[in-house]
Amino acid sequence: MDDLILTLKALADETRFRIIHLLLNQDLCVGALADHLSLSKAAVSQHLQILRKAGLVKGEKRGYWTHYGVDKDVIHRIAEALMETADQAPELRTACHQTIEKESKTDDLERRMLPMCQNCCQQPTQLKDKPGNCTPEQIKKCHGDENDHPCVPKREKK
Protein backbone atom coordinates (compact mmCIF):
# COMPACT_ATOMS: atom_id res chain seq x y z
CA MET A 1 0.00 0.00 0.00
CA ASP A 2 2.85 2.41 0.79
CA ASP A 3 4.35 1.83 -2.66
CA LEU A 4 1.01 2.56 -4.29
CA ILE A 5 0.65 5.79 -2.34
CA LEU A 6 4.19 6.84 -3.27
CA THR A 7 3.55 6.26 -6.97
CA LEU A 8 0.17 7.99 -6.91
CA LYS A 9 1.70 11.01 -5.17
CA ALA A 10 4.38 11.12 -7.85
CA LEU A 11 1.74 11.04 -10.58
CA ALA A 12 -0.42 13.66 -8.85
CA ASP A 13 1.81 16.46 -10.09
CA GLU A 14 0.78 17.73 -13.53
CA THR A 15 4.37 18.12 -14.79
CA ARG A 16 5.35 14.61 -13.71
CA PHE A 17 2.21 13.21 -15.31
CA ARG A 18 3.13 15.01 -18.54
CA ILE A 19 6.65 13.56 -18.33
CA ILE A 20 5.19 10.06 -17.99
CA HIS A 21 2.93 10.73 -20.97
CA LEU A 22 5.89 11.83 -23.11
CA LEU A 23 8.03 8.90 -21.99
CA LEU A 24 5.30 6.40 -22.84
CA ASN A 25 5.77 7.36 -26.49
CA GLN A 26 9.58 7.29 -26.58
CA ASP A 27 12.65 7.37 -24.39
CA LEU A 28 13.97 10.90 -23.94
CA CYS A 29 16.91 12.60 -22.24
CA VAL A 30 16.58 15.45 -19.75
CA GLY A 31 17.31 18.07 -22.41
CA ALA A 32 14.63 16.76 -24.77
CA LEU A 33 12.09 16.60 -21.94
CA ALA A 34 12.98 20.15 -20.92
CA ASP A 35 12.44 21.35 -24.51
CA HIS A 36 9.07 19.55 -24.82
CA LEU A 37 7.84 20.90 -21.49
CA SER A 38 9.40 24.38 -21.71
CA LEU A 39 11.12 23.82 -18.37
CA SER A 40 14.70 24.07 -17.22
CA LYS A 41 16.84 20.95 -17.23
CA ALA A 42 17.21 21.30 -13.45
CA ALA A 43 13.43 21.30 -12.95
CA VAL A 44 13.04 18.23 -15.17
CA SER A 45 15.84 16.46 -13.28
CA GLN A 46 14.05 17.12 -9.99
CA HIS A 47 10.81 15.67 -11.35
CA LEU A 48 12.65 12.65 -12.79
CA GLN A 49 14.24 12.00 -9.41
CA ILE A 50 10.80 11.77 -7.80
CA LEU A 51 9.56 9.52 -10.60
CA ARG A 52 12.64 7.28 -10.24
CA LYS A 53 12.14 6.96 -6.47
CA ALA A 54 8.55 5.97 -7.12
CA GLY A 55 9.80 3.32 -9.55
CA LEU A 56 7.92 4.81 -12.49
CA VAL A 57 10.88 5.63 -14.72
CA LYS A 58 14.25 4.08 -15.40
CA GLY A 59 17.31 5.69 -16.84
CA GLU A 60 19.69 4.12 -19.35
CA LYS A 61 23.07 5.66 -20.08
CA ARG A 62 23.58 6.20 -23.83
CA GLY A 63 26.89 7.91 -24.51
CA TYR A 64 27.00 11.18 -22.60
CA TRP A 65 23.28 11.30 -21.88
CA THR A 66 20.84 9.27 -19.85
CA HIS A 67 17.62 8.44 -21.63
CA TYR A 68 14.55 7.81 -19.52
CA GLY A 69 11.66 5.50 -20.15
CA VAL A 70 8.56 4.42 -18.25
CA ASP A 71 8.52 1.10 -16.46
CA LYS A 72 5.23 -0.09 -17.92
CA ASP A 73 5.04 -3.00 -15.48
CA VAL A 74 4.72 -0.50 -12.64
CA ILE A 75 1.94 1.31 -14.48
CA HIS A 76 0.13 -2.01 -14.95
CA ARG A 77 0.54 -2.87 -11.25
CA ILE A 78 -0.91 0.53 -10.28
CA ALA A 79 -3.88 -0.05 -12.56
CA GLU A 80 -4.42 -3.55 -11.15
CA ALA A 81 -4.22 -2.29 -7.56
CA LEU A 82 -6.77 0.42 -8.30
CA MET A 83 -9.07 -2.08 -9.99
CA GLU A 84 -8.83 -4.45 -7.01
CA THR A 85 -9.58 -1.58 -4.64
CA ALA A 86 -12.58 -0.53 -6.72
CA ASP A 87 -13.86 -4.12 -6.89
CA GLN A 88 -13.62 -4.52 -3.10
CA ALA A 89 -15.41 -1.27 -2.28
CA PRO A 90 -19.04 -1.64 -1.27
CA GLU A 91 -21.72 0.07 -3.28
CA LEU A 92 -22.12 3.59 -1.89
CA ARG A 93 -25.48 4.46 -0.47
CA THR A 94 -26.42 7.56 1.41
CA ALA A 95 -28.26 7.33 4.68
CA CYS A 96 -30.92 9.86 3.76
CA HIS A 97 -33.41 9.38 1.02
CA GLN A 98 -36.58 11.13 0.16
CA THR A 99 -39.46 9.09 -1.09
CA ILE A 100 -41.10 10.82 -3.98
CA GLU A 101 -44.33 9.88 -5.55
CA LYS A 102 -45.19 10.70 -9.10
CA GLU A 103 -47.77 9.52 -11.54
CA SER A 104 -46.46 7.04 -14.02
CA LYS A 105 -47.77 6.55 -17.52
CA THR A 106 -50.15 3.87 -16.25
CA ASP A 107 -51.80 6.35 -13.82
CA ASP A 108 -50.39 4.41 -10.89
CA LEU A 109 -48.28 6.16 -8.33
CA GLU A 110 -44.66 5.31 -8.71
CA ARG A 111 -42.63 5.42 -5.51
CA ARG A 112 -38.91 5.90 -5.72
CA MET A 113 -36.20 6.52 -3.19
CA LEU A 114 -33.85 9.28 -4.26
CA PRO A 115 -30.68 10.27 -2.44
CA MET A 116 -31.15 13.83 -1.31
CA CYS A 117 -28.48 14.61 1.25
CA GLN A 118 -25.14 16.15 0.69
CA ASN A 119 -24.07 17.26 4.13
CA CYS A 120 -26.78 16.28 6.56
CA CYS A 121 -27.39 12.88 8.04
CA GLN A 122 -24.57 11.17 6.13
CA GLN A 123 -23.60 9.32 9.29
CA PRO A 124 -26.88 8.44 10.99
CA THR A 125 -25.19 6.55 13.82
CA GLN A 126 -23.45 9.74 14.88
CA LEU A 127 -26.71 11.67 14.71
CA LYS A 128 -28.75 9.04 16.51
CA ASP A 129 -30.63 10.74 19.33
CA LYS A 130 -29.06 14.06 18.24
CA PRO A 131 -31.56 15.50 15.78
CA GLY A 132 -30.52 18.95 16.94
CA ASN A 133 -27.36 18.55 14.85
CA CYS A 134 -29.44 18.95 11.72
CA THR A 135 -31.03 22.30 10.98
CA PRO A 136 -34.71 22.35 10.06
CA GLU A 137 -33.70 23.50 6.59
CA GLN A 138 -31.47 20.44 6.16
CA ILE A 139 -34.18 18.11 7.41
CA LYS A 140 -36.76 19.69 5.10
CA LYS A 141 -34.37 19.47 2.14
CA CYS A 142 -33.60 15.83 2.89
CA HIS A 143 -36.99 14.54 3.86
CA GLY A 144 -39.49 17.12 2.74
CA ASP A 145 -40.88 17.35 6.25
CA GLU A 146 -39.23 18.24 9.55
CA ASN A 147 -41.26 15.53 11.30
CA ASP A 148 -39.81 12.77 9.13
CA HIS A 149 -36.23 12.70 10.42
CA PRO A 150 -34.39 9.34 10.65
CA CYS A 151 -32.66 10.34 13.87
CA VAL A 152 -35.91 10.88 15.71
CA PRO A 153 -37.82 7.75 16.72
CA LYS A 154 -41.19 7.52 14.98
CA ARG A 155 -44.10 8.48 17.19
CA GLU A 156 -46.99 6.12 17.36
CA LYS A 157 -50.17 7.53 15.91
CA LYS A 158 -53.02 7.80 18.39
Tens of pLDDT, residues 75-105: 999 999 889 888 886 665 544 544 445 555 5
What is residue 94's predicted lDDT score, i.e. its pLDDT?
46
Rounded to two decimals, what is the model's pTM?
0.56
Q: Which residue has the higher pLDDT, 124 or 3?
A: 3
**For residue 126, what pLDDT band results from cuts at 50, 70 and 90?**
very low
Task: Check pLDDT > 70 for residue 109.
Answer: no
Question: Where are the chain's structural domains?
Answer: 2-88, 91-158
Fold of 2-88: Arc Repressor Mutant, subunit A (1.10.10)
High-pLDDT (> 70) share of the chain, %? 56
- Which of 10, 14, 95 lies closest to 53 in space, CA to CA? 10
In degrees, to the nearest 5, what angle opens at C-alpha 121 toward C-alphas 111 and 103? 15
Q: What is the mean pLDDT of residues 115-131?
A: 50
What is residue 145's predicted lDDT score, i.e. its pLDDT?
59
- Which of 55, 76, 121 lies closest to 94 in space, CA to CA? 121
Chain segment 24-55, per-residue pLDDT in tens: 999 999 999 999 999 999 999 999 999 999 99
Least confident of 5-9, 17-21, 134-138, 143-147: 143-147
DSSP state of 76: H
